[in-house]
Amino acid sequence: MKDANTSSKTFRRVVLLCLFVFFLASAGAFPADEMTSTIVIGNSRIDVVVEQGSLQVSKEELLRWVQWAAESVSAYYGHFPIPHVLLRIIPADGKGVRNGRTFGEKGGFITIHVGSNTTSQDLGTDWMLTHEMVHLAFPSVADNHHWIEEGIATYVEPIARVRAKHMDATEMWFELVRDLHQGLPAAGDKGLDHTHTWGRTYWGGALFCFLADIEIHQKTANRKGLDDALRGILAAGGDIRQDWPLEKALDTGDQATGVPVLRPLYEKMKDQPYDVDLPAIWTELGVERADGKVRFLDTAPLSQTRVAITYGSVAPGSAAASPISILAGDTAMNFPKR
Ligand SMILES: [Zn+2]
């Protein structure tokens, strides 16, 4: 989730595509003492503070988790979204990652809870920290448009992890097919701007993103996608530290792709239900769900669009799709990729 406020600090463009990660870990004992580390990723800096408390996972495992999330967001946007973010990791009872919140104040900061029994494997499959970091890459908009903020974070997060090779594409599509129907309008729906349920906020917003992604690809012969629109918004200074009218963000995105998709789709979805035939779309994209998994049909009419949505216009294996991590400092570590 996201809480935003405005800061007037200047947004600095990050030009490096490769990721340079530098850890400065405190020498204090862990987990009894609070730990502060700094991760430098491209031209951006992530200050990681782990509050006092008991955790099963090690300092190295926590930092790898942060690194993977930062790599995922950077793979999608071409660089980490803002120059500096403070990440507070708060140990909690139980197991797993929860209660992520992202703010535009103080140049950008994130708080997130990690259960004391959380394992390294739990961190390796976590989506929430990537979701929070995606929030950094879009301006704050009025409360009735909260669905666009959560929708982008919900839709982009698994694609970003696939592009950084931290998630399988089959798993990403399986979960999208499994979950996206929760964003469809129910009886009495009054459109995305006026129906503030959990389903319409998170998955209704994701549905908007998904439909826009397909349409941008269709109108550009798969040369552009939602990623180009969102990068264009970020390049224009539209990050979480800024308050923008939603229309400005959508128009900026449409200018970046050269095709009017976001604004017209918003006009159709903002104050009316706008029902969608999702099974027909899965068939067109060549995504077939069976026996607890999905398989891809390359003969489907939009199979190339499915590939472009998954990997972007940048071929897998290039610098942007496969960030290089160089680790240095007194806690130099090298993390194998999944
Ligand atoms: Zn969120």
> Hey, how many other C-beta atoms are within 10 angstroms of the C-beta on 245?
12
> Ligand 1 center to residue 300 CA distance, Å?
33
* Residue 225 alpha carbon to ligand 1 centre in Å: 22
Pull the structure tokens for residue 319. Answer: 């610098």
Task: Work out the pLDDT band at 13, boundaries 50, 70, 90.
Answer: very low
Give the Å distance between the CA of 135 and the centre of ligand 1: 7
Length reported for the chain: 338
What's the average model confidence in pLDDT over 144-167?
98
Which neighbouring-strand residues pair with 114? 91, 97
Write the CA distances from 77 to 66, 67, 335, integer angstroms: 17, 15, 22
- C-alpha 243 – ligand 1 centre gap (Å): 17
The yes-or-no verdict on residue 330 having pLDDT over 70 is: no
pTM of the model as a whole? 0.86
Residue 151 Cα to ligand 1 middle (Å): 8
Q: What is the pLDDT of residues 164-206, one digit of tens each?
A: 999 999 999 999 999 999 999 999 999 999 999 999 999 999 9
209 Cα: distance to centroid of ligand 1 (angstroms)? 14
Residue 305 C-alpha to ligand 1 middle, in angstroms? Answer: 26
What is the whole-number distance in angstroms between the Cα of residue 217 and the centre of ligand 1? 26
The per-residue pLDDT for range 82-140, each reduced to its tens digit, is 999 999 999 999 999 999 999 998 889 999 999 999 999 999 999 999 999 999 999 99
Q: How far is the CA of 202 from the centre of ligand 1 (A)?
A: 8
Distance 129 CA to ligand 1 centre (A): 10
Each residue's pLDDT tens digit, 254-278: 999 999 999 999 999 999 999 899 9
CA of 136 to the centre of ligand 1 (A): 10
Question: How much distance in Å is there from the Cα of 51 to the middle of ligand 1?
Answer: 22
The per-residue pLDDT for range 238-248, each reduced to its tens digit, is 999 999 999 99
* Bridge partners, residue 92, by sequence: 115
Going by pLDDT thresholds of 50, 70 and 90, the confidence category of residue 279 is very high
CA of 128 to the centre of ligand 1 (A): 8
If one compares 337 and 193, the residue with the highest pLDDT of the two is 193
Q: How far is the CA of 218 from the centre of ligand 1 (A)?
A: 28
Calculate how far, in angstroms, residue 298's C-alpha sits from the geometric centre of ligand 1. Answer: 33
Nearest to 57 by CA among 126, 125, 120, 122: 120
Task: Measure 147 CA to ligand 1 centroid, in angstroms.
Answer: 9
Q: What is residue 30's predicted lDDT score, i.e. its pLDDT?
A: 45
Match 């530098």 to its residue by tokens. 22
Distance from the alpha carbon of residue 108 to the mean position of ligand 1, in angstroms: 14
Q: Is the pLDDT of residue 284 over 90?
A: yes
Residue 145 CB contacts under 8 Å (≥ 6 apart), including other chains:
192, 193, 246
**What's the gap in Å between 143 CA and the centre of ligand 1?**
13
What's the CA-to-centroid distance between 2 and ligand 1, angstroms?
Answer: 5
- Label residue 34 by pLDDT band (50, 70, 90): confident
pLDDT of residue 33: 52
How far is ligand 1, taken at its centre, from the CA of residue 153, in Å?
A: 6
> Is the alpha carbon torsion for 326, 329, 332, 338 positive or negative?
negative
The domain segmentation of the chain, as residue ranges, is 19-139+320-328, 146-311
Residue 105 has φ and ψ, to the nearest 5°, of -75, 160
Please state the rounded mean pLDDT for residues 268-294.
96
Distance 1 CA to ligand 1 centre (A): 3
CA 97 to chain CA centroid, nearest Å: 16
| pLDDT tens figures, 62-82 | 999 999 999 999 999 999 999
* Continuous H helices in 239-323: 246-257, 262-269, 278-285, 303-311
Distance (Å) from CA 110 to ligand 1 centroid: 11
Cα 54 to its chain centre, rounded Å, is 28
CA 60 / ligand 1 centre spacing (Å):
26
The rounded Å distance from CA 198 to ligand 1 centre is: 11
